[in-house]
Amino acid sequence: MLYLASDHAGFQLKTKIIEYLKRKGIDFNDLGTNSNERTDFPKYAKLLTDAVAQNESNRGILICGTGIGMSIAANRNPKIRAGLCKNKKTANLARQHNNINVLVLAGRGTRFNSAKNMVDVFLTTEALGGVYAERMAAIDLKNIKD
């Protein structure tokens, strides 16, 4: 399942992405927020990461003003690999090399066309595995070899 969540600063971009996903016939679950009234991003990061972490095939999209806060909050969950992406290329590399399961976008400063391209790449690109999977395993610092 694909999950989406945003704070108030990401609400407008999230709304456009939702319409895009509907047009493409992609199933998703919107976890909020449901307006552009001020709210705190950690609440929505937790809702989404808890949902994504329930099944390895789940993925998520988080959006806040800069994407930085959502990235920090999401990556607190050890089952989450959230990546803040700025364009199609970084989304592709984040999927291939880092096997991200949560795409993070900046609501302020990301144009919809760019966001749409990143979402497409996020949903269709497979992780490369191999040395990249070994590096992801090493993120747990006790697994790093000197």
What distance in Å separates the CA atoms of residue 43 and residue 27, rounded to the nearest whole number? 23
Residue-wise burial string across 4-28, b where 16 or more C-beta atoms lie within 10 A, e elsewhere? bbbbbbbbebbbebbeebeeeeeeb
What distance in Å separates the CA atoms of residue 99 and residue 108, rounded to the nearest whole number? 25
Q: 89, 100 in Cβ contact below 8 A?
A: no
Residue 3, beta-bridge partner list: 29, 60
- What three-state secondary structure class fits 6? strand
Question: Could you list the active site residues?
Answer: 97
DSSP 8-state class, residue 54: T
Taking only Cα atoms into account, the Rg of the chain, rounded to an integer number of angstroms, comes to: 15
